């Protein structure tokens, strides 16, 4: 059985990631590929329970370290009980956010540092990285516009952080994509949903090619 491909969507708030993840799933299914669409934080019952703790924290909220550990714990469960088994069965996995979100949000914007986040990922998930990470980014879009246009929950503990935090997240994603051009495809999120989808399909074409050969 050939291992399936693992694709993650990343980006700041309101970049249309979830819509594009769904459209890519549909496009791959139309090509006869078995696909598991999932998201982070979440994807398994345990990880979804941790998602709720992270986005709607009890009490005063989590400190930066506890938050990073909870993300790593939810990812460990997701990787062990959903992502690795699906890939081993030959399915393609599309994940709406993955470890690069922890690197950008907790590592850079949250100031824990990239090494700490990568170490947590090595411990929790044996350092699994996607075959391709699609970064959806929109040049010059104000954070306030992004928050208005976002495709997720507008009132959670992380999405609701200030503009400095979210600008730092966006800059971090750009820096990651520049540092590892082989692992990332940066897709311009400007324009219609269909235009962005065409760019996403262009970005994953090499994976389809690889899988067919
Ligand atoms: P979600 O509603 O899925 O947001 P979005 O629609 O923007 O993807 O909520 C996930 C939030 O959690 C989002 O603000 C990003 C944040 N997050 C982290 O801070 N670290 C992580 O590792 C992940 C996966 C998400």
The CATH number linked to 200 is 3.40.50.300
Is residue 181 one of the residues assigned to a domain?
yes
Q: Which residues are CB-neighbours of 105 under 8 A, at least 6 positions away?
A: 158, 169
3-state secondary structure of 16: coil
Percentages helix, strand, coil for the chain (3-state, rounded to 5) are 55, 10, 35
Tell me, using a 6 A CB cutoff, whether residue 41 lines ligand 1.
yes
By most ligand atoms within 8 Å of CB, the mutation choice from 9, 13, 41, 172 for ligand 1 is 41
- Looking at residue 1, its pLDDT comes to 81
* Segments forming the whole domain that contains residue 205: 6-212
* Pairwise CA distance, residues 78 & 25, whole Å: 19
Is residue 123 one of the residues assigned to a domain?
yes
Letter string b/e over residues 81-102, b meaning 16 or more CB atoms within 10 A of that residue's CB: ebbbebbeeebbbbbbbbbbbb
Tell me, using a 6 A CB cutoff, whether residue 97 lines ligand 1.
yes
153 C-alpha to ligand 1 centroid (Å): 9
- Looking at residue 147, its pLDDT comes to 56
Bridge partners of 7?
A: 94, 132
Is residue 117 one of the residues assigned to a domain?
yes
Tell me, using a 6 A CB cutoff, whether residue 16 lines ligand 1.
no
Is residue 51 one of the residues assigned to a domain?
yes
Is residue 1 one of the residues assigned to a domain?
no
- Looking at residue 15, its pLDDT comes to 82
Number of domains within the chain? 1
- Looking at residue 208, its pLDDT comes to 94
Is residue 76 one of the residues assigned to a domain?
yes
Tell me, using a 6 A CB cutoff, whether residue 48 lines ligand 1.
no
Q: Which residues of the chain have pLDDT under 50?
A: 151-152
- Looking at residue 155, its pLDDT comes to 75
Is residue 154 one of the residues assigned to a domain?
yes
Q: Are strands 132-137 and 6-10 parallel, antiparallel or unpaired?
A: parallel
Minimal CA–CA distance to 106: which of 95, 116, 92?
116
């Amino acid at each position: 059985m050939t291992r399936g491909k693992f694709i993650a969507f990343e980006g700041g708030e309101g970049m249309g990631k979830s819509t594009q993840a769904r459209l890519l799933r549909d496009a791959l299914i139309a090509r006869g590929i078995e696909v598991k669409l999932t998201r982070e934080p979440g994807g398994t019952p345990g990880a979804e329970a941790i998602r709720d703790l992270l986005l709607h924290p009890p009490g005063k909220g989590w400190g930066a370290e506890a938050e990073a550990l909870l993300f790593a714990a939810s990812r460990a469960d997701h990787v062990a009980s959903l992502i690795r088994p699906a890939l081993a069965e030959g399915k393609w996995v599309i994940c709406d956010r993955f470890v690069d979100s922890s690197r950008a949000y907790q590592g850079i914007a949250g100031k824990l540092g990239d090494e700490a986040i990568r170490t947590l990922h090595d411990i929790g998930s044996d350092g699994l990285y996607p075959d391709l990470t699609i970064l959806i980014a929109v040049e010059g879009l104000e954070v306030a516009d992004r928050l208005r246009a976002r495709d997720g929950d507008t009132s959670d503990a992380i999405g609701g952080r200030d503009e400095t935090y979210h600008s730092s997240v966006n800059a971090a994603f750009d820096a990651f994509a520049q540092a590892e051009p082989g692992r990332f495809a940066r897709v311009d999120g400007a324009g219609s949903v269909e235009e962005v989808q065409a760019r996403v399909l262009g970005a994953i074409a090499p994976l389809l090619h690889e899988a067919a050969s």
